Amino acid sequence: MKKLELERNKAPENENRAVKELICIMCPKGCRLKVEEGGGYAVTGNACPKGAEYGRKEVTNPTRVLTSTVKITGAIHSCCPVKTDRDIPKQLVLKAMDVLSGVVLKAPVRRGEVVVSNILGTGANLIATRDMEAAE
């Protein structure tokens, strides 16, 4: 009897852990995730394993592929679309945008061409995502 009461009074291990609520962005379903901060970063609300992986990563080490545009001269358009070829830490996205604001390409540019290599020391390259022919 005494042992049973002791067990009832024992707080669950995760009772004091904060829980972060997120929307999974890995597919259009948009599951509402709850991720325990700390311990094993348990995830609930996910309809598939991708959601658990996303939730844990988003709480422990959030990253993003940066997509944007940079200025280009000598082409029929004034901006060239670009993206990083891999995720970069989310906290560096604004700094990376500052780097992009100083980039001016000269046409022609080929899709996949490296525009900025190893941006902010992340190991990710910024690449053009379309061909930009020189204006005639």
* Interface contacts to ligand SF4, rule CB under 6 A: 24, 26-27, 29-31, 46-48, 50-51
Residue from 124, 128, 85 nearest 107 by CA: 128
Return the residue nearest ligand SF4 (CB atom).
51
Answer for the pair 34, 43: CB distance below 8 angstroms, yes or no: yes
**Least CB distance from residue 55 to ligand SF4, whole Å?**
8
Q: Looking at beta carbons only, is 35 or 109 nearer to ligand SF4?
A: 35
Q: Looking at beta carbons only, is 50 or 106 nearer to ligand SF4?
A: 50
How far are the Cα atoms of 7, 24, 57, 59, 64 from residue 52, in angstroms, in the given order?
30, 9, 9, 11, 17
Q: Looking at beta carbons only, is 48 or 114 nearer to ligand SF4?
A: 48
**Least CB distance from residue 88 to ligand SF4, whole Å?**
22
d(CA 60, CA 63): 10
